[in-house]
A and B are shown apart, each in its own frame.
Chain A
Amino acid sequence: MRAAAGASGATRAVADAETRPGDTVPEELTGWGRTAPTTARVAAPSVVADAARFVAESGARGIITRGLGRSYGDAAQNAGGLVLRLGALDQIGPVDPGTGLVTCGAGVSLDQLLREVLPRGWFVPVTPGTRQVSLGGAVAADVHGKNHHRDGSLSAHVASLTLIDGRGAVRTLTPSDDLFWSVPGGMGLTGVVVEVTLRLIRVESSLMRVDTTRTASLDETMAVLEESDRTSRYTVAWVDCLARGSATGRGVVTSGDHATSDEAGEATRPAFGRRTLPAPPWAPSGALNPVTVGLFNEAYYRSAPRATRRSLDTVGSFFHPLDVVDGWNRIYGARGFVQHQFAVEDPECVRRVVGMLSQRRAPTFLCVLKRFGPAGRGPLSFPSGGWTLAVDLPVSDSLGGLLDDLDAEVLASGGRVYLAKDSRLRPESLERMYPRLDEWRSLRDELDPEHVFQSDLSRRLNL
């Protein structure tokens, strides 16, 4: 293997056993949407001191941390610079039985953490739609889950975190420090998270008690969501964006909570359900079009019960349905896909956007609506009170125009898009969507005065 510390090696190389600590390997990287590849030198230090050394010696093109690559766009890429992978920081500490506090390396995935703690009656306070995210990445994106209306985003449950700052110094921050709040939503641009202390919650079983309700229109979908927010800890709605006319915005609302030990009974089931299946290694671009997606949506909608039905589900099938297929992002073909997720207070904005998607026949089988509780403290944290809608769309020649129109709608209503999903926003739109951007910038200047933390996202958005 060619060691390529000087960026001279242009061969595609993969880290293997021969790689010594301190080596970097050139690698072409994309986000989960598989768009806009760029090449960086990738380092995988095994201890915090080595990671700090990479930060201190990162050079003109800077450095960014990459977790498990689940950001959809360019947040964890750094063209021509350094990318840190921290999978080696995978220690999971003991759970404090009184407080539920657990200290983990930033490279621990939610999957690893849940497999460790769920059998002993603990659960993560917030989980996004996949378990395959690193804890460091989850904090940097300030991920939210189906319980945002009740519990807020992940940063609300972080008791402290350890960060390598822009000078390569290791510091520990707690929520009482202003600097702490530059991290959630900061997409790794204020430091390398190396350790997180998280407050877990107690659960009586590894099963979920789930209510599934089919709705006939967007109004009903939104009404059922609001109603179930009052009764359930976890709620979300799948929306059929291809349905037309009075059926526009029909959907399936699922709400649930952790089953008590009585409800779970004697049932012993694997907590995460089936073994994962591989996605096909290749799919033609355009396989997902209004016709095929329309058929899927129709089938999915009809498979949901007409009247509300209660069931016991596994954690895996309730929280992370897409984790069943390994590498499902490949089904969008070579051109890849974009997820557009926005948060807005005004329900009318949601209605207009769903109407636009339906009218313009946007082929999306993954369109998810949920309610957000009040915003957290991070200046760049995404969730803010009201509604959030996320849509996956395959790249096509007309997609740029459609998404710009969605942005305009969101901007006009005072909403914002989620940077962990973004791959095409305009820099000037970002400034308007995140009015506390300057506050974040001054916190960043304190932690990273030379701006050594850089990513393709930070370049694209002039962060």
Chain B
Amino acid sequence: MINALGAPQSVLVLGATSDIARATVELMASAGRLQRVILAGRSGEGLDAEVERVRRLGVPVVVSHDFEARDRAAHPQVVADAFATGEVDVVLISFGVLPDEDRVRADPLAAAEVVDINYTAVVTTLLASANHLRAQGHGVIVVLSSAAAVRGRASNAVYGSTKAGVDALASGLGDALRATGVSVVVVRPGFVRTRMTAGLRPAPLAVTPRDVAEAIVKNLTGGSRTVWVPAAMAWVMGALAVMPRTLFRRLPI
């Protein structure tokens, strides 16, 4: 159960080796209530190392589960397995890729693969999780969207379109789940300094995975909502969203 102060006892992480997921699990563990963590990700050394790391954070039960975002037929089972062995208080959907825009624009099938990973796999895992949580009568799904979801940009049209889909689905679902005890928290970070963005020039208002983790942990008890990281990003993107397009396309972003 999530306690009165928002500390969960059990978490399912889809995309367990992402920097944001790692920071979030670490922060959750620091409240001293985590009893069970299910780490779903691509099998391998990275996942094994993460299992070890979470154990060392003091979580008594840490389980890993092979999860491949492109293998959508397997997704309902991955989620079902996590719920079959106990309560799940929080589902963190944190996988995704940031493609090289020029490459995927030149190769439409590569672009479709990005859609499969960033969007279709979120559809399957998000809906499967929502069904289990409704039966359980409580729980929070945290979905990593992006500031890029708000308005399509020349520099990341493909990536932005996948996050726009994720954002619309998660926001709408969160409202549909009102009064079921289940909520969906949509997280919209700006530029996050992670392995995924390594080598890119940080945008203004860049944040760390730890900043994103803090925003997530703080917002587990407020019901379905959208969380910007940093909070000031809401104003920046709000302004950009209503800017006339003729002006917007000239911006160096």
Contacts and interface: CB of A to CB of B under 8 A. Distances in A.
Interface of A: 7, 10-12, 26, 28, 33, 35-40, 61, 73-74, 78-81, 334-336, 338, 395, 397, 399-400, 403-404, 423-424, 426-427, 456, 459-460
B253 interface: no
Report which residue of B3, B177, B179, B218 has the largest number of chain A beta carbons within 10 angstroms of its beta carbon: B3
Minimum-distance CB pairs A-B, first 3: A80-B137, A39-B181, A79-B137
A252 to B, nearest CB: 29
Interface string B76-111: 000000000001000000000000000000000000
B136 interface: yes
Interface string B172-208: 0000111111100000000000000000000000000
Contacts of A33: 4
A73 B1 contact: no
B179 A28 contact: yes
B137 A35 contact: no
A40 B136 CA distance: 9
A276 B231 CA distance: 41
A39 B180 contact: yes
Interface string B1-30: 111110101000000000000000000000
A338 B5 CA distance: 9
B42 interface: no
A33 B179 CA distance: 18
Contacts of B177: 10
Contacts of B5: 35, 338, 395, 399-400, 403, 424
Given A7-B135, A79-B136, A80-B135, A423 B3 contact: yes
A401 B230 CA distance: 24
22 contacts: A10-B176, A26-B179, A26-B180, A28-B180, A33-B4, A36-B1, A37-B181, A38-B181, A39-B138, A39-B179, A74-B4, A79-B138, A399-B5, A400-B5, A400-B7, A404-B32, A423-B3, A426-B32, A426-B33, A427-B35, A460-B1, A460-B3
B91 to A, nearest CB: 15
Contacts of A38: 1, 137-138, 181
A460 B182 CA distance: 17
Report which residue of B32, B136, B180 has the largest number of chain A beta carbons within 10 angstroms of its beta carbon: B180
A395 B182 CA distance: 21
Interface of B: 1-5, 7, 9, 31-33, 35, 87, 134-138, 176-182, 218, 221-222
Tell me if A's interface is mostly helix, strand, loop or mixed: loop
Report which residue of B3, B4, B35, B134 has the largest number of chain A beta carbons within 10 angstroms of its beta carbon: B4
Contact of A423 (B4, B135, B181): B4
Contacts of A40: 137, 181
Nearest to A336: B4
A40 B137 CA distance: 6
B9 A79 contact: no
Nearest to A35: B4
Given A80-B138, A336-B4, A456-B1, 18 more contacts: A12-B178, A12-B179, A26-B179, A28-B179, A35-B3, A35-B221, A37-B138, A38-B1, A39-B179, A79-B137, A79-B138, A80-B135, A334-B222, A335-B222, A338-B5, A423-B3, A424-B5, A424-B7
A79 B181 contact: yes
Given A39-B138, A40-B137, A79-B1, A335 B221 contact: yes
Nearest to A73: B4
Contacts of A395: 4-5
A10 B134 contact: yes
A397 B181 CA distance: 22
Contacts of B178: 12
Nearest to A78: B137
Nearest to B217: A397
A7 B2 CA distance: 21
A167 B178 CA distance: 34
Contacts of B31: 400
